[in-house]
């Protein structure tokens, strides 16, 4: 564990304006674990995160550009699937019970692929957390990305940390009113764009955009647009870190997923303590490298001090690394006082030893193996995926009908799903029922041709009749048989089990009574 506050022989001068020559000590309120755990109610302290510069800030800019770019632009990418199908590359076409992901189309009957993807994503998240902590929270979580975007907007209109503090503490002048108004209007525009992009995933984006503007869109589109606009504005613009600390369960779950070998953003107390401002010409002997400038706290979007150790509130965004590296460079000390490190190495380093990074360990092997298994299952299912789906539903009322000539008739609803992007013709037969005749309402009898248009589902009302002369072969009240759906072009046949219902035999009655059945 970190050796924070291990010695107090060089006491920090809390009143010092400079932490080192030319480096101003930031006057920033730190949210401490003790304060947060106190039972008494305390109103929120607004956090004025300072703009950080450095490697991790640049990575976060890049991740933000890519993730927001994907989210906003994806519904506008086109994909030609032929004349009868939608040309939107990514479309969640719930109205027609199917999802389009570029060349891949998943029907409602195949939602287990989505389940598989969600399992792989969850396991991937566990693996990343075991290796490098809350990477997801710090870089790609939508709450982090949109909060970052809202802070960019705020900074654009109101300036960086000290300017924003001055503005908030000052009286309500014209300048303050217009800067605050401009900030909130821009936040709302971002929120509307976010809600708009969301609904575009569910319907042809250009069409829906025109409908939304003209007021002709479905009511549900306006509802979701409103909900997403409100949540983006409130969660990203107003609530910010409160969402991560109080609303999100993930920090609590994640802390069970990393261990002493996980790379976490850590303050190297063995190197930084005892901390104190550094005066010009003063020796670095017998003191730590931390000059207590609080630059790391000033950039923290959660308002915490990483020098207090790993905390639940830390989203591992790495901005404190950038801030401290900049300070170290300016005071000519080695960078990495705050860095990605493991608990094991921090312990070893405090005894002047090193503990090498161990990414391959039982926990990570287990997660990787589970991911591999689920991927293999998904791949196998995908390679054996059929291009035709048949479902059969027996009529419930009446279960069977006895016609005037003594023949028995059962009604079924047979659904044929043609997953190919071309029209197909099928024939339908009943196998395992001697003398059975199949007729399809509206089409005809005797295995008539059934046309199913590309990428569509056709529901058929099917009547199966067994003449009186053939009923000796029926197995009482329930005779199993199967429907055969034959592709007219190549004879490929898909079967579906069904049951033909009829009156119970005398012998069934007797045995039922013997067994005490009704
Ligand atoms: S850890 Fe680095 S940035 Fe933070 S107070 Fe110490 S010297 Fe300053
Ligand atoms: S302590 Fe550092 S890594 Fe954690 S949230 Fe604050 S700036 Fe990000």
Going by pLDDT thresholds of 50, 70 and 90, the confidence category of residue 2 is very low
Query: Is 388-515 assigned to CATH 2.60.40.10?
Result: yes
Asked if pLDDT for residue 41 goes beyond 80, the answer is no
For 59, 98, 105, 117, 369, the CA distances from 375, given in Å and listed in that order, are: 29, 22, 18, 9, 10
CA distance 320 to 295: 8
411 three-state secondary structure? strand
Name the residue with the closest Cα to ligand 2, atom 4.
Answer: 314
435 three-state secondary structure? coil
- What ligand has the least distance to the C-alpha of 288? 1
Residue 30: closest CA among 300, 250, 247, 224: 300
pLDDT for 518 equals 27
Q: Where are the domains of the chain?
A: 142-258, 388-515
Going by pLDDT thresholds of 50, 70 and 90, the confidence category of residue 429 is very high
306 lines ligand 2 (CB under 6 A): yes
Predicted confidence (pLDDT) per residue in 288-300, tens digit: 999 999 999 999 9
Name the residue with the closest Cα to ligand 1, atom 8.
Answer: 293
260 three-state secondary structure? coil
More reliable by pLDDT, 55 or 420: 55
Contact by Cβ (8 Å): 439, 462:
yes
CA distance 306 to 129: 19
Both tokens assigned to 422: 């071309």
Name the residue with the closest Cα to ligand 1, atom 7.
Answer: 290
| Least confidently predicted of 14-23, 30-39, 104-113 | 30-39
Can you state the percent helix, strand and coil of the chain, rounding each to 5?
45, 20, 40
Entry pTM: 0.80
pLDDT for 510 equals 46
Going by pLDDT thresholds of 50, 70 and 90, the confidence category of residue 108 is confident
Pairing assessment for the beta strands 408-418 and 424-431 based on DSSP bridges: unpaired
Residue 264: closest CA among 357, 199, 191: 357
Residue 302: closest CA among 491, 36, 39: 36
150 lines ligand 1 (CB under 6 A): no
Q: What is the position in ligand 2's atom list of the atom closest to the CA of 323?
A: 7
The DSSP call for residue 83 is: T
| Mean pLDDT score, 201-220 | 94
Q: What percent of the chain has pLDDT over 90?
A: 65
| Best residue among 27, 305, 324 to mutate for probing ligand 1, ranked by most atoms within 8 Å of CB | 324
| Least confidently predicted of 25-39, 92-106, 210-224, 279-293 | 25-39
298 lines ligand 1 (CB under 6 A): no
């Amino acid at each position: 564990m970190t050796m924070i506050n291990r010695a107090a022989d060089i006491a920090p001068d809390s009143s010092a304006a400079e932490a080192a020559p030319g480096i101003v000590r930031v006057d920033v309120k730190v949210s401490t674990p003790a304060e947060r755990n106190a039972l008494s109610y305390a109103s929120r302290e607004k956090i004025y995160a300072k703009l950080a510069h450095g490697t991790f800030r640049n990575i976060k800019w890049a991740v933000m550009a890519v993730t927001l770019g994907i989210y906003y632009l994806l519904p506008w990418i086109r994909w030609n699937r032929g004349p009868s199908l939608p040309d939107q590359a990514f479309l969640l076409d719930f109205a027609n019970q199917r999802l389009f992901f570029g060349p891949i189309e998943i029907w409602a009957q195949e939602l287990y692929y989505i389940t598989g993807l969600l399992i792989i994503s969850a396991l991937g998240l566990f693996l990343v957390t075991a290796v490098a902590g809350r990477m997801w929270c710090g870089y790609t979580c939508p709450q982090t990305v949109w909060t970052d975007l809202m802070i960019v907007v705020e900074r654009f209109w109101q300036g960086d940390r000290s300017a924003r503090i001055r503005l908030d503490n000052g009286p309500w002048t014209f300048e303050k009113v217009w800067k605050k108004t401009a900030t909130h209007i821009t936040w709302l525009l971002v929120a509307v764009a976010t809600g708009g992009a969301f609904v575009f995933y569910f319907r042809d984006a250009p069409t829906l955009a025109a409908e939304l503007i003209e007021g002709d869109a479905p009511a549900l589109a306006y509802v979701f647009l409103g909900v997403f606009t409100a949540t983006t504005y409130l969660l990203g613009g107003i609530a910010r870190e409160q969402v991560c600390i109080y609303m999100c369960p993930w920090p609590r779950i994640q802390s069970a997923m990393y261990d002493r070998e996980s790379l976490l953003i850590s303050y190297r107390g063995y190197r930084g303590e005892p901390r104190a401002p550094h005066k010009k010409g003063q020796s670095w002997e017998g003191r730590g490298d931390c000059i207590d400038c609080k630059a790391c706290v000033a950039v923290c979007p959660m308002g915490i001090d990483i020098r207090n150790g790993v905390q639940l509130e830390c989203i591992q965004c790495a901005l404190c690394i950038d801030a401290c590296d900049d300070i170290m460079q300016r005071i000519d000390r080695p960078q990495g006082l705050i860095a990605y490190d493991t608990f094991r190495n921090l312990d070893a380093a405090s005894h002047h030893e090193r503990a090498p990074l161990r990414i391959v360990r039982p926990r990570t092997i287990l997660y990787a193996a589970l991911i591999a298994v689920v991927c293999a299952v998904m791949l196998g299912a995908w390679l054996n995926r059929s291009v035709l789906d048949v479902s059969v539903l027996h009529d419930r009322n009446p279960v069977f009908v006895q016609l005037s000539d003594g023949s028995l008739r059962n009604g079924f609803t047979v659904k044929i799903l043609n997953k190919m992007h071309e029209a197909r013709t099928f024939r339908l037969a009943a196998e395992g029922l001697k003398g059975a005749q199949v007729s399809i309402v509206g089409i005809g009898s005797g295995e008539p041709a059934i046309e199913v248009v590309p990428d569509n589902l056709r529901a058929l009302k099917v009547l199966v009749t067994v003449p009186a002369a053939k009923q000796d072969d029926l197995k009482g009240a329930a005779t199993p048989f199967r429907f055969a759906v034959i592709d007219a072009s190549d004879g490929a046949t898909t079967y579906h089990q069904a049951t033909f219902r009829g009156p119970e035999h005398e012998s069934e009655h007797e045995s039922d009574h013997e067994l005490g059945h009704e």
